[in-house]
Amino acid sequence: MNTRVLTGITTTGTPHLGNYAGAIRPAILASTQPGVDAFFFLADYHALIKCDDPARVARSRLELAATWLAAGLDPERVTFYRQSDVPEIPELCWLLTCVTPKGLMNRAHAYKASVDQNAAKGVEPDDGVTMGLFSYPILMAADIVMFNAHKVPVGRDQVQHLEMARDIAQRFNHLYGSDFFVLPEVVIEEEVATLPGLDGRKMSKSYNNTVPLFEGGAAALRAAVMRIVTDSRQPGEPKDAEGSHLYTLYRAFATPEESAAFRAQLEGGMGWGEAKTALYERLEGILAPMRERYDALMAHPERIEEILRHGAARARAMAGPALQVLREAVGLRNLGAQAADKKGARAKAAKGARFVSFRDADGSFRFRLLAADGQELLTSQAYADPKQAGAAMKRLPAEAQLRATGDASYAVQLDGADVAASPEGTAAGTIDRTRDALAELAQ
């Protein structure tokens, strides 16, 4: 079975050299590996949370799409689409919103950071906080589980959002009684290159220290490289290659052998001006062919539009049927079919006992055993790990040992230890119903 990997790119800016080395290049390389089913999307709904400049969002959508395609993304091999072209995603976002506890969103890092900043300013805690910012993790969860992605590569700052996506998907699965969603696996990008900028700090537009990728052409690239800060050592003096961010940049775009040769030249006294020229030529040799493709795409945005619409059609071919199943699950059903199935559905519901999972306010996981008529028969102990709770549920029907603990109360054991107990106020004879329910599930 292929592994489905999903990556989203927020459309709020123009890519620079650090974006290419840290995200674009490794993601495109990963998409070419055998057994990988890759989904790449422009997260333009997410952009509206961060940016209220329509022109900037529109320009960024075009530039980002052109950049990824120019850098080698194959739209025939991957599913490449705009988030806003798949209406099933915001509809799913609402379904997930309706099962997501507000307390979970209260703990989101971005929201808490805004509240802390407001507290430091002495203003209302929610001043300037939009519902887009507050519920951002739910939209991210919809992006991921809409296509049942197995793996989502993220930086450490996004790990919490992936954990929330798992929580939300699991809650929906438990509430509606089926494994509708795959629980996505967090892939932390430890090896992603973090390039230094012109001043040695992390390359970021926030620091105004970036090296342009395509913007401004070769002249802008050369001008940026020549502004890289170096020490005062003169030509002929040995340079500290490891301590030079100019060498770090060169190494990110060269083979180990080429990097070793460049390092030897620096340590042998190469002047900084000559070293910068060598870096520029190295970068230009790599970027020039991509820039040519980028310029051709930017000159014909209709080509990009066609590619994105084709990708959206592929995405919707999967999202549409999946969402219809979810609509049925929550009760948004065809009325004619509902009338025809009502009798059968009631009969089916009346036949079986069932387990229902839930999560406590403290974050721990539990489950209940309900009789066919909805009577609560058992409540489990708390588990820190949902997998442990699930394993106990699977074992109970065949392996449980019931023991009386009072006139009508009882406990259930696995391996000699109590794992669940009767609810308070249990009526006499309920232990027999519990035994029958477990036997039924065992069959």
How many domains, the chain? 3
CB 210 within 8 A of CB 197: yes
CB 14 within 8 A of CB 54: no
Do residues 42 and 139 both lie within one domain? yes
Do residues 252 and 108 both lie within one domain? no
CATH number at residue 280: 1.10.240.10
Do residues 305 and 270 both lie within one domain? no
| Residue 337 belongs to a domain | no
Q: Which residues contact 334 (CB under 8 A, 6 or more apart)?
A: none
Do residues 146 and 30 both lie within one domain? yes
Do residues 103 and 157 both lie within one domain? yes
Do residues 26 and 173 both lie within one domain? yes
| Residue 200 belongs to a domain | no
Tens place of pLDDT for every residue, the chain, 443 residues?
A: 689 999 998 999 899 998 898 888 888 988 999 999 999 999 999 999 989 999 999 999 999 999 999 999 999 999 999 999 999 999 999 999 999 999 999 999 999 999 999 999 999 999 999 999 999 999 999 999 999 999 988 777 788 999 999 999 999 999 998 899 999 998 876 545 678 999 999 898 888 999 999 999 999 999 999 999 999 999 999 999 999 999 999 999 999 999 999 999 999 999 999 999 999 999 999 999 999 999 999 999 999 999 999 999 999 999 999 999 999 999 998 887 655 555 554 544 445 788 888 887 677 888 999 888 778 899 999 998 888 888 999 999 999 899 888 878 899 999 889 999 998 877 777 888 898 889 888 87
CATH number at residue 421: 2.30.29.80
Q: What pLDDT score does 348 carry? A: 46
Give, as one character, the DSSP assignment of residue 208: T
Q: What pLDDT score does 349 carry? A: 46
Closest CA to 306 of 75, 27, 74: 75
Instruction: Name the region of 219 (left: φ>0; alpha: ψ -120 to 50; beta: rest).
Output: alpha
Of 286, 318, 337, the position where a domain reaches its end is: 286
The DSSP-derived string for 241-266 is STT-HHHHHHHTTS-HHHHHHHHHHH
251 annotated to bind ligand: no
32 annotated to bind ligand: no
d(CA 129, CA 118): 10
205 annotated to bind ligand: yes
CATH number at residue 67: 3.40.50.620
204 annotated to bind ligand: yes
18 annotated to bind ligand: yes
351 annotated to bind ligand: no
b or e along 123-136 (b: 16 or more beta carbons within 10 Å of the residue's beta carbon)? eeeeeebeeebbbb
Instruction: Print the domain residue range for 230.
Output: 205-286
143 annotated to bind ligand: yes
- The 354-359 sheet, strands edge to edge: 354-359, 365-370, 376-380, 417-421, 410-414, 401-404
CB 3 within 8 A of CB 35: yes
11 annotated to bind ligand: yes
